[in-house]
């Protein structure tokens, strides 16, 4: 669940900023972001956020936004999985709107090439270095076969033994095995937050096409090697980038609201 909560913060911040927009349910004519391609049948953890919110509303009603809860849960998840910690800037307020269209355009696809990834992050004022550091989040969690099938069957920039291993859980012909899960980090599995992700990339054992794009004979290769060799450098750049990502377009002052229920705007 820690991995899922970390991802939830990313998918919130890249759509309208870190404003809890991803948490809003589709109700009547209200359309949320949960059915967007990158979110549907993939993002989870909404129930965990609900439970944190319920406890907070009992202890301190109307004060802590859903967007801040997601930011704190991402930080605490990273730490509990063995990663670094940091001080989370607080005071984000919650949106009263969502954008399904932005969720479909602004969240990068696993089929993206490096130039597409760099521009998707640049659109959020995040640098190529931030992209490479934040992608280290793929040291934890899983991916469904449908998101990496093309990479293991059709790409050439992949270790053949690794491709063969992943093919055992991800049959060539869709839709067979589409929802089968494999760990994003083959070296240290799914529940240890470390820098093994980058050594995997150097060994051409990135699970997603987009992962391997960071080590593909281009601009990020040297940084990937450095992060793989220097866990302290990765930890410090990851923290810097998470704070930057967590600061995308916050609603402050009189904008937005403090939602009472993270799934619906206040009545």
Min CB(195)–ligand HEM separation in Å = 14
Closest to 83 (Cα-Cα) out of 244, 236, 247: 236
The answer on whether 19 is annotated among ligand-binding residues is: yes
Q: Residue 256 — left, alpha, or beta (φ > 0 → left; ψ -120 to 50 → alpha)?
A: left
Find out whether 194 is annotated in a ligand binding site. Answer: yes
Q: Supply the minimum distance, in Å, between the C-beta of residue 77 and ligand HEM.
A: 8
* Residues in touch with Ca ion (CB under 5 A): 12, 15-16, 19, 21, 139, 185, 188, 192, 194, 196
* 3 state SS of 120: helix
The binder of ligand HEM chosen from 83, 108, 206, 250 (CB under 6 A): 108
- Of 135, 131, 169, the closest CA to residue 153 belongs to 169
Using CB under 6 A, which of 141, 228, 250, 256 touches ligand HEM?
141
112 binds, among ligand HEM, Ca ion, none (CB under 5 to 8 A by kind): ligand HEM
Is the sign of the CA dihedral 192, 133, 183, 80 positive or negative?
positive
Cis upstream peptide for 240 (omega within 30°): no
16 binds, among ligand HEM, Ca ion, none (CB under 5 to 8 A by kind): Ca ion
Residue given tokens 């070296």 in the structure block: 187
Ramachandran sector of residue 202 (left: φ over 0; alpha: ψ -120 to 50; beta: rest) = alpha
Which residue lies nearer to Ca ion by CB, 19 or 213?
Answer: 19
- Residues 36 to 75 in contact with ligand HEM, rule: CB under 6 A: 42
**Active-site residue list:** 11
The SS3 assignment for 106 reads helix
CA dihedral 9, 12, 15, 16 (to 10 degrees): -110
Judged by beta carbon distances under 5 to 8 A according to partner kind, the member of ligand HEM, Ca ion, none in contact with residue 216 is none
- Find the shortest distance in angstroms from Cβ 193 to Ca ion: 6
Shortest Cβ 175–ligand HEM spacing (Å) = 14
* Interface residues toward ligand HEM, by CB under 6 A: 3-4, 6-7, 10, 42, 108-110, 112, 117, 134-135, 137-138, 140-144, 147, 208, 210
């Amino acid at each position: 669940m820690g991995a899922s909560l970390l991802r939830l913060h990313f998918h919130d911040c890249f759509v309208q900023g870190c404003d809890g927009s991803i948490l809003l349910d589709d109700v009547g004519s209200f359309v949320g972001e949960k059915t967007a391609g990158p979110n549907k049948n993939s993002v989870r953890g909404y129930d965990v956020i609900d439970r944190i919110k319920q406890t907070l509303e009992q202890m301190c009603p109307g004060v802590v936004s859903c967007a801040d809860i997601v930011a704190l849960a991402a930080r605490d998840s990273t730490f509990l999985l063995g990663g670094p910690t940091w001080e989370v800037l607080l005071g984000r307020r919650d949106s009263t709107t969502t954008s399904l269209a932005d969720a479909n355009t602004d969240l990068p696809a696993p089929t993206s090439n490096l130039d597409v990834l760099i521009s998707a992050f640049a659109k959020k004022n995040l640098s190529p270095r931030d992209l490479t550091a934040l992608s280290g989040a793929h040291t934890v969690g899983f991916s469904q076969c449908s998101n990496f099938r093309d990479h293991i069957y059709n790409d050439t920039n992949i270790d053949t033994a690794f491709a063969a291993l992943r093919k055992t859980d991800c049959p060539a012909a869709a839709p067979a095995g589409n929802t089968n899960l494999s760990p994003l980090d083959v070296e240290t599995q799914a529940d240890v937050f470390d820098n093994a992700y980058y050594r995997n990339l150097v060994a051409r054992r990135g699970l997603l096409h987009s992962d391997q794009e960071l080590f593909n004979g281009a601009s990020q290769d040297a940084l990937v090697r450095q992060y793989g060799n220097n866990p302290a450098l990765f930890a410090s750049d990851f923290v810097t980038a998470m704070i930057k990502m967590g600061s995308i377009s916050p609603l402050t002052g009189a904008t937005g609201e403090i939602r009472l229920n993270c799934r619906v705007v206040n009545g």
